[in-house]
Amino acid sequence: MGEEEKMLAGEIYDANYDENLIEKRSKAKELCNLYNELNVKDLEGKKNIIEKLLQKRVNQFTIEPNFYCDYGFNITLGENFYANHNLVILDANKVEFGDNVFIGPNCGFYTSSHPLDYKTRNKGLEYAKSIKIGNNVWIGGNVCVLPGVAIGDNVVIGAGSVVTKDIPDNSVAYRKSL
């Protein structure tokens, strides 16, 4: 099994020396850079770059710059998707967004993680677990969604939250104020 197959299976893999993964990440970074440099009024240019990055057609979406991802092809956007500035998606595994998802500024969706054992981690090994976001979800600003999380339908995630576990349908989840 190759490193990409291990990555998508959620197994420990090495992304640092696999030429295929390095090339795919490099291509995604170039496309993100182009996207972030486009004129804000160039909607057709934005759509073309996002479709190249995700390797699929997308319809109603807005992603405000700056936007960054690792690969792009592991991301699926539902209809009527909106992400405010500074969206980061570390998509070493699948990241699926349902319809009518609204994301505040400075949010991150991180499928990638590293072993807790420092000897394994120091070898540059990592793993990735998928993230799934349901329909009609509003994610406030500065939210971080960690590997393996599923957020159900009709959910609101409050600003500043770190989502470490699944959130059921029809829920409001938030970090308590200090």
**114 is a catalytic site residue:** yes
Q: Annotated catalytic residue: which of 25, 114, 129, 132?
A: 114
Which residue is it, tokens 């990409």?
4
- What is the phi-psi region of residue 166: left when phi exceeds 0, alpha when psi lies from -120 to 50, beta otherwise? beta
- Let me know: does 7 contact 15? Beta carbons within 8 Å: yes
Q: What is the DSSP letter of 167?
A: B
Q: Give the chain's count of helices (H) and strands (E).
A: 4, 18
Q: Any idea which residues carry the catalytic annotation?
A: 114
